[in-house]
Amino acid sequence: MWPITAVLIALLLTTASNITPLAARQEQASAKLAPAIERLAQWIEAVRSHQVGEADVQAVIVASWSHVELSEMFPLLEVLLELVDREASESLRPRLSKFSQPAVRRPSAEEIALLRGMAFRDWVRADPNRLLIRGGLLHADIARLVKPSVPTFVPQPARGRAGRIGRSVRERVVARAPDADYRGMEYGLVHWDYARMLLSAVAHDPFADPVVRLWYRATAAYLSGAQFFGEAKPHFEYALTLFPSDAHLLFSHACMQAAMASPGVQEFVNATPLPGGVRFDVSSARTHLRNAEELFRKALDADPRMVEARIRLARVRADLGRHEEAARLLTEAAPFATDPVMAYYLRLFLGESAVAIGQQDVAQTSFQHAAELFPSAQTPRVALSQLARSLGNGAGAHAALGPLFALPADAPDRYDPWWDYHRGEGRYSDALFSDLYRLLERPSQ
């Protein structure tokens, strides 16, 4: 069976690529360098001109380049950076190997002169970090806003030992499933990888660090909030190697783990067969809940003031069957849940745990409080109804739904925060991107 990473849905596929004899590679590499230098010049210009946060012409142009064209260009970026900033180059080198064949020879003297000419552009030379940051943002904007089409993935029959021939090239494969509607498998958006590669090469400084940190927070929130779990998983892995104690990244990752434990994801994964021995990289609900619990605890260790992390941790514990612990945690958090949405979630979860431990009065009070916070939301009405029905009160069950039944289908205030619960920090991704762009406008040190 092919090892696969998948989630609502992503698949990581280990495939095989043929090895070309060394001499042929050298000849091919030489022929390729001239266009690659030209492309690097175009890329630098695109990075310099791109309006971050926009699907502008620069983003569209770079989006049209193939993975092969970009992977041949980036080693030259490494050379360029070596000419101006050895630290940035050395930081970039190990990450480049994942995405491109390493250059089999150094560029010629003429090519280096060309590169040196580019290197002496004031803009790059003055601040190589800025090139890397803006380059990363360009590729992230391509992934998020341009959304170039990607080729369909068709699993090949396994050959040889463990299905591999020669050297393997890792490529990420995802399964698209909007609203749990399986649409097929395709390769992941490699521009996310480019963005991470570039940003992770940024040398540490007081300006760069908060930008990179906020970029990871915003993009991770966006990916997990949109349930692009296959793209989000490596994203979190990278982010937490750079910022292992960042409370927001830990929190956001925990939210994603909890979402992956949700009945919608679990049932879809269990009931959707994939072809060719491919399987989803989704664990059991219990495993994801335990991951979420650990991550929420780490987030709270990093920032004990995160009320939402406490509320979500309680929910995870309830889902693990530890309702008394959950109820205790929620009761302790209640005075600090001043935001209406947080108070709403807290009341719903407290009600649910109260039902589980036989405290019907507490449950009813909690659900009623939730209904008062968002009078047109359906969840508290449904919860009150089911509570009544479970106690044999059919009339009460119907009456509890009365306010819901009275709402027209297109009522503008029918919003229910429960519908956004599993988006986690995705609810704030637009605001996070706005903060990021404001941070970029500040002059660098």
Partner 1 sequence: MTNRLAATAKGLCLAVAAALAQDKPFDSLALAQDKPLFSTRVEGVRVDVLVTRQNRPVLGLTAADFELRDNGVPQQIELVGLEQLSLNIVLAFDLSDSVQGARLDELRRASEALLKTLKPDDRSALVTFSHAVTLRCGLSLEVWCVHDALGSIEADGETSLVDGTYIGLIVGESELGRSLLMVFSDRFDTASWLSPERVIETAKRSDVVVYGISAGTGQSRFLRDLSSTTGGRMLEGRTTDLASIFLSILNEFRQRYVLTYTPRGVSNTGWHQLQVRVKRGNPSVKARPGYLTGAQ
- Strand arrangement, sheet containing 10-16: 10-16, 168-176, 184-187
Sequence-separated (6 or more) residues with CB below 8 Å from residue 358: none
Taking the complex as a whole, how short is the minimal distance between the CB of residue 385 and partner 1, in angstroms? 6
Residue 280: which of 9, 39, 81 has the closest Cα?
A: 9
**67-84 vs 128-141: helix crossing angle, rounded to 10:** 160
Place of tokens 């995705």: 426
Which chain residues interact with partner 1 by CB under 8 A? Answer: 178-182, 263-264, 267-268, 271-272, 348, 360-361, 364, 368, 371, 378-379, 381-407, 409, 414, 416, 418-419
Q: Measuring CA to CA, which residue among 82, 76, 80, 74 is closest to residue 100?
A: 74
CB of 415 to partner 1, least distance (A): 9
Determine the residue type at 208.
Answer: A
Chain position carrying tokens 């521009």: 191
Report DSSP state, residue 179: G
Q: Least distance to partner 1 from the beta carbon of 358, Å?
A: 8
Q: Nearer to partner 1 by C-beta: 129 or 385?
A: 385
Q: Considering only CA atoms, which of 208, 84, 66 is closest in space to residue 137? A: 208
* Tokens 């050297």, located at residue: 167
Is the distance from CB of 266 to CB of 253 less than 8 angstroms? no
Provide the minimum distance between the beta carbon of 353 and partner 1 in the complex, in angstroms, as a whole number: 13
- Return the number of the residue (74 or 421) whose C-beta is nearest partner 1: 421
Question: Closest separation between CB of residue 412 and partner 1, Å?
Answer: 12
What is the C-alpha separation between 105 and 118, in angstroms, rounded? 20
Nearer to partner 1, 120 or 419 (CB): 419
Decide whether 195 or 274 has the Cβ nearer to partner 1: 274
Q: CA end-to-end span of the chain, whole Å?
A: 51
Under 8 Å CB-to-CB from 38, ≥6 apart: which residues? none
CB closer to partner 1, 23 vs 271: 271
Our CB check for partner 1 shows the closer of 122 and 361 to be 361
State in angstroms the smallest separation of the CB of 286 from partner 1: 15
C-beta closer to partner 1: residue 258 or 306: 258
Structure tokens given for 82: 């070596």
Q: Give the Cα separation of 46 and 135 in Å (integer).
A: 9
93 class by beta-carbon count within 10 Å (0-12 exposed, 13-18 middle, 19+ buried): middle
Q: Nearest distance from residue 178's CB to partner 1, in Å? A: 7
- For partner 1, which is the closer residue by CB, 23 or 406? 406
Taking the complex as a whole, how short is the minimal distance between the CB of residue 116 and partner 1, in angstroms? 54
Q: Which is nearer to partner 1, 199 or 318 (CB)?
A: 318
Distance in Å, CB of 443 to partner 1, minimum: 44
Residue 272 neighbours by CB under 8 Å, 6+ apart: 177, 182, 280
